Amino acid sequence: MPPPPGGGFLGGMQVRERVEAGTLVVLDVGPESGPVAMAREAELAERARRGEGAAWILRIHGWADPVLTLGKTQDPPPELRAEARAAGVVLARRPTGGGWLLHLPGDLAVTLVARGPLGPGDFRGTARLVGEAIAAALARRGTAARAAPAAASPPGTGRAEVCFQRVDREEVKSGSTKVAGVALARAGRAALVQAAIPLVPAGGPLSAFESRWDPRRAAAVGRTAGVGERSLAAALGEEIARRLFGRTGEGAGRDRIPRGPAPGGGRR
């Protein structure tokens, strides 16, 4: 599916290229409905699995309506579905895993697709690239943040059903508060990374829904208060391009930043 015309955060689609890293296509979408956004990103992952498209695709979008995205294997309880309907929240299933999280108009989402074929360390390195870019972009907008080096969930949470109840490696923290969720999925020898940054507080019936089903989201918004979606989108695009084409980024550890296939649209 092509992106809808106009309405983006950065002025439309961009293409950046460097020989050793291939081509980065930036799909600047603007606000979208949750089901449409997830369908588009699943399609991008499938094309990457088939070896089609640019070496790197960065997709930046917002949310047209309140959405609760579910991890690809989650089966939410009936009461969640009922309360979502009552609060005007649409449910949409992600092609990546993890727990559910609430997105509101004014929040930002960023997706990176790496066509591959990815080598040892590249799959996890793709998620680290995104996490570090988000942390750097938030820091540029006044929110000190860092990508978590390892799982650091609160005691007793286990495999949390709610995304923001757990901090896994590559996800982003400000102090002890998780401020961005980062989910990763394999698509053959390609990778799909989906990340979400809450920026706006819930109000009205959404506030009660948030406090029951995504209670840690409010703390994240408290940390990102004052960060605008457009300025953050611009900083994110710059930080991801810089890591792909300029340097590997701080804190990459043993997971090197993947360099991607040579340009030309085929496998290397």
Q: Which amino acid is at 170?
A: E
Asked whether the predicted pLDDT for residue 214 surpasses 90, the reply is yes
Give the integer Cα–Cα distance in Å for 227 and 230.
Answer: 9
Residue 39 pLDDT: 96
Residue 9 pLDDT: 55
Asked whether the predicted pLDDT for residue 61 surpasses 80, the reply is yes
Give the whole-number percent of the chain exceeding pLDDT 90. 65
Q: Which of 26-30, 164-168, 236-240 has the highest mean pLDDT?
A: 236-240
Give the integer Cα–Cα distance in Å for 14 and 64.
Answer: 22
Output the 3-class SS for 239-257.
HHHHHHHCCCCCCCCCCCC
Asked whether the predicted pLDDT for residue 87 surpasses 50, the reply is yes
Phi-psi region of 234 (alpha: psi -120 to 50; beta: other; left: phi over 0): alpha
pTM of this prediction?
Answer: 0.84
Worst-scoring range by mean pLDDT, 68-77, 93-102, 119-128, 186-195? 119-128
Asked whether the predicted pLDDT for residue 217 surpasses 60, the reply is yes
Give the whole-number percent of the chain exceeding pLDDT 70. 80
Residue 119 pLDDT: 80
| pLDDT tens column, 138-147 | 999 999 999 9
Residue 249 pLDDT: 33
Residue 159 pLDDT: 53
Residue 130 pLDDT: 96
Q: Which of 93-102, 152-161, 244-253 has the highest mean pLDDT?
A: 93-102
